């Protein structure tokens, strides 16, 4: 008996996240972050309404397989950005979707010459490796940051492009 061939995998299409995707985002949140108060569809719609920059990753059929959000605050010459969330559906993980979303957020931050901050669970080794590969460094620890689980988080920072010699300094590691 011959094993079925692996399905082919195409790069996801990145586009601005749509309000119509909020329910699917909430489903992915339930799948990924059940122990830590996953966001609701209402929370995603509020984020989109706030003007924050959100990207969706869509498969070849147009289905949402991941999302990521970034807020930029401050004024010219003093901008800072914060990654609010990145989520990739379990079936799409390990195929570069998270990296593509992160790269999209970082390109937006670079357009504002903004340093970027984020929080990540201290036990999320895959995410920490991804963030480190694009220039983030741990700058702090937030004990019991995630609720209700009480998990700790690292605060990580990636310098603004002007601080680090430009986006090219993020590295050229392959997709994860």
CATH number of the domain within which 120 lies: 3.40.630.30
Output the CA angle 161-163-167, nearest 5 degrees.
25
Flag whether 120 is in a domain. Answer: yes
Average pLDDT over residues 57-63: 94
Flag whether 143 is in a domain. Answer: yes
The model's confidence at residue 166, banded by pLDDT at 50, 70 and 90, is low
What per-residue confidence (pLDDT) applies to 21?
97
Q: Which domain holds residue 107?
A: 13-161
pTM comes to 0.86
What per-residue confidence (pLDDT) applies to 34?
87
Flag whether 171 is in a domain. Answer: no
Average pLDDT over residues 78-104: 95
Question: In this structure, are residues 38 and 27 in contact, taking their beta carbons and an 8 Å threshold?
Answer: no
Structurally, the chain folds into a number of domains equal to 1
Flag whether 4 is in a domain. Answer: no
Flag whether 5 is in a domain. Answer: no
Flag whether 6 is in a domain. Answer: no
Flag whether 140 is in a domain. Answer: yes
Flag whether 67 is in a domain. Answer: yes
What per-residue confidence (pLDDT) applies to 115?
97
The model's confidence at residue 91, banded by pLDDT at 50, 70 and 90, is very high
What per-residue confidence (pLDDT) applies to 174?
35
């Amino acid at each position: 008996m011959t094993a079925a061939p692996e399905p082919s995998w195409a790069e996801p299409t990145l586009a601005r996240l749509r309000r119509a995707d909020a329910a699917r985002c909430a489903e992915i949140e339930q799948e990924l972050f059940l122990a830590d108060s996953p966001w609701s569809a209402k929370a995603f719609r509020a984020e989109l309404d706030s003007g924050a920059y959100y990207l969706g990753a869509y498969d070849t059929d147009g289905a949402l397989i991941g999302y990521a959000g970034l807020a930029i605050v401050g004024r010219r010459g003093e901008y800072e950005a914060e990654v609010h969330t990145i989520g990739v559906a379990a079936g799409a993980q390990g195929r570069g979707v998270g990296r593509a979303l992160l790269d999209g957020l970082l390109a937006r931050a670079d357009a504002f010459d903004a340093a970027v901050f984020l929080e990540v669970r201290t036990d999320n080794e895959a995410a920490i490796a991804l963030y480190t590969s694009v220039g983030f460094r741990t700058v702090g620890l937030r004990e019991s940051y995630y609720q209700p689980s009480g998990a700790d988080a690292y605060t990580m920072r990636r310098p603004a492009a002007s601080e680090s010699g430009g986006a090219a300094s993020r590295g050229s590691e392959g997709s994860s």
